[in-house]
Amino acid sequence: MLSLFAHLSLTPSSRPDNPTHNPKLHSNPTHLRKDPILTRQQNEFDLAGKNYSGAGASPEEERSSIPDGLRRELMPEHVAVIMDGNRRWARMRGLPSGSGYEAGIRAFRVLVELCCKWGIRVLTVFAFSSDNWVRPKMEVDFLMNLFEKGIKAELDNFMREDIKVSIIGDPSKLPTSLQRLIARVEKNTKHNTGLHLVVAVNYSGKYDIVQACQSIAQKVKDGLIEPEEINESSIEQELETNCAEYPYPDLLIRTSGELRVSNFFLWQLAYTELFFSKSHWPDFGEADFVEALVSFQQRQRRYGGYK
Amino acid sequence: MNWLTSIQDPIIGKDLYSKYYYLWLIVIWHVVHFIISIWYCALRLAETVESYLISSGLLMWNKTIDTSRVQYLAIVLDSEEACRTSEVIKLLQCIERIGLRNICLYDREGVLKKSKDIIMEKFSRAKLFEEACTTATTLLDKEPFTLEFVSFSDGKEAIAQAANYIFTNYHKSRYQKDLPCTESHIDEALKATGYGQPYPDLMLIYGPSRCNLGFPAWRIRYTEMVHMGPLKSMKYGSLIKAIHRFTMVYQNYGK
């Protein structure tokens, strides 16, 4: 609860949701929401020596893995995170930026573990924006190296924990070795059925829309579609986030107190609940995540319509 | 709980134990949410006091705001909130009083578009953004007060129309080998199809949901978003505070 004091949140306005509110009454205008209890497959996961078993878990074990204050049926299907504040975190401690990024990787691992444990279906993280190329070359090279090492180190974990990995963004500017590694990890994990981890690297919301238009253009050129037939749905089907079962985030978390989305998921965020946390990304832990989820579960999501 | 587990029949005992355990979880859930509600009530009370202090001039923020940093302000309203025309007008009057000049009003259903005439009547110096552009005024002009009314159809549908515009021209021209489809081409196509309005610096969201409700996606790349709560609870002080906070923000645009 103390973390609530530190939370640079948007002005709280909505009263708590009725705890008996049935999420199945929500209708997302763009995709069907599935019953999280009937379709969720939990991963076998070892945390602090305790196994959280998958399909064979007893109801008590399932309930006990969710922190008090959260309800499993109100958990978001898709959580997106803008992992901001690594450099500021390092600067505050008199450390180089690299240390901030490395600490950020540890926070990222914790978040992945929690998502697996709590039945979140899709986790998207904004790792590197196409606007970040203007940073010093040394820093960018360090980051690319860190991605490569991080992915290699976690590949076995992804397989063991049944995590499917997808990378979205423009891969053409990435180092060749990283491109090859991305292709390998996507191929190796493509049949996994647990958490879908989507990592946005060299991604931009505008680029996503542009590449969707380019895909449609190819279809127009091939005579598969007439220009007059192009509508909102045509573009939505070509967005990179369509690789996920739940392409649109239910909850977006941005750390380090900034109140903007910085060119991330522009199209997809129309009805995404926004949560801005004051913690810098390396400090974002279980308590902060619980706070974000509690806040999400309290909100009235109306998808733009009337109550 | 000991007497429960010691019940002779292990099946009944286990079932009762589960039910009581589940009940306890429900109670804990309610307690946690009650505490959070109390916290939010306390925050609202603090905001009300702060807002009064700002409105009465005891806190000097309204005298130190650099309004030039907010070139374009977006107000996003839940469609139910948008029906409260008098409160929308009151909000715009506060914004005009602060000194901001270029406002974009958005609601998903287009309720504000229907109330456009009523709203415009209340502001003698107000012009519609489209008219202000054609009369060769710039956004930096202090006069007039420009208003833009936007709904969902100006967002994703606009991008689809811009894409249609690009593809139609591409389809007609047999001489172009590469499709002209980059960010700047979409910008141009949006302008050509009548959707080339400026990007807001700051977005204030009124309503229960903390989301942008489908505000034109192409325009919110670096827009600061602040959720202000229900429109009926709108306070001049909260508005000042949100704008003041924005003017203190440093944006590095990815650097």
Return the percentage of chain A with pLDDT > 70, whole number. Answer: 77
CATH superfamily, domain B66-248, is Decaprenyl diphosphate synthase-like (3.40.1180.10)
CATH superfamily, domain A12-204+281-297, is Decaprenyl diphosphate synthase-like (3.40.1180.10)
Residues of B in contact with A80 (CB under 8 A): none
Asked if B213's CB is within 8 angstroms of A304's CB, the reply is yes
Bridge partners of A251, per DSSP, are A79, A273
Measured between alpha carbons, how far is B1 from A302 in angstroms, rounded to an integer? Answer: 42
What does the pLDDT look like over A98-117, one tens digit per residue?
A: 999 999 999 999 999 999 99
Which ipTM did the prediction report? 0.77
Task: Pick the residue of A2, A8, A13, A233 with the most B CBs within 10 A to test the interface with B by mutation.
Answer: A13
3-class DSSP state for residue A190?
coil
Which run of H or E residues covers position B148? strand B145-150
What does the pLDDT look like over A55-65, one tens digit per residue?
A: 445 555 554 57
The first and second tokens of residue A1, run together, are 């609860």
Out of B39, B186, B207, the one facing A210 most closely (by C-beta) is B186
Q: What is the model's pLDDT at position B145?
A: 84
Q: Is A84 annotated in the active site?
A: yes
| Interface contact A29, partner B, CB < 8 A | no
3-class DSSP state for residue B127?
strand
Q: What is the model's pLDDT at position B11?
A: 59
Given a cut of 50, whether residue A216 has pLDDT beyond it is yes
Q: What is the model's pLDDT at position B60?
A: 58
Residues of A in contact with B238 (CB under 8 A): 11
Out of B171, B182, B238, the one facing A210 most closely (by C-beta) is B182
- Terminal Cα distance for chain B, rounded: 58
Return the percentage of chain A with pLDDT > 90, whole number. Answer: 66
What does the pLDDT look like over B182-236, one tens digit per residue?
A: 899 899 999 999 888 899 999 999 998 899 999 999 999 999 999 999 999 888 9
> Within 10 A of A63 (CB to CB), how many other CB atoms are there?
15
**Cα-based distances in Å from A50 to A47, A156, A157:** 5, 19, 16
CA of B157 to nearest chain A CA: how many angstroms apart? 6
Q: What is the model's pLDDT at position A37?
A: 35
Task: Pick the residue of A251, A259, A307 with the most B CBs within 10 A to test the interface with B by mutation.
Answer: A259
Q: What is the model's pLDDT at position B59?
A: 63
Give residue A222's pLDDT band: very low, low, confident or very high (50, 70, 90).
Answer: confident
Q: What is the model's pLDDT at position A225?
A: 85
Bridge partners of B106, per DSSP, are B76, B150
Give residue B14's pLDDT band: very low, low, confident or very high (50, 70, 90).
Answer: low
Task: Pick the residue of A126, A130, A137, A232 with the most B CBs within 10 A to test the interface with B by mutation.
Answer: A232
Given a cut of 80, whether residue B242 has pLDDT beyond it is yes
Provide the mean pLDDT of chain A. Answer: 81
Give residue B136's pLDDT band: very low, low, confident or very high (50, 70, 90).
Answer: low
Provide the residue ranges of all domains of chain A, joining segments of one domain with +: 12-204+281-297
Q: Which of A17, A46, A68, A84 is catalytic?
A: A84
DSSP A65-97: TSPTT--GGGS-SEEEEE---HHHHHHHTT--H
| Interface contact A158, partner B, CB < 8 A | no
Provide the residue ranges of all domains of chain B, joining segments of one domain with +: 2-56, 66-248
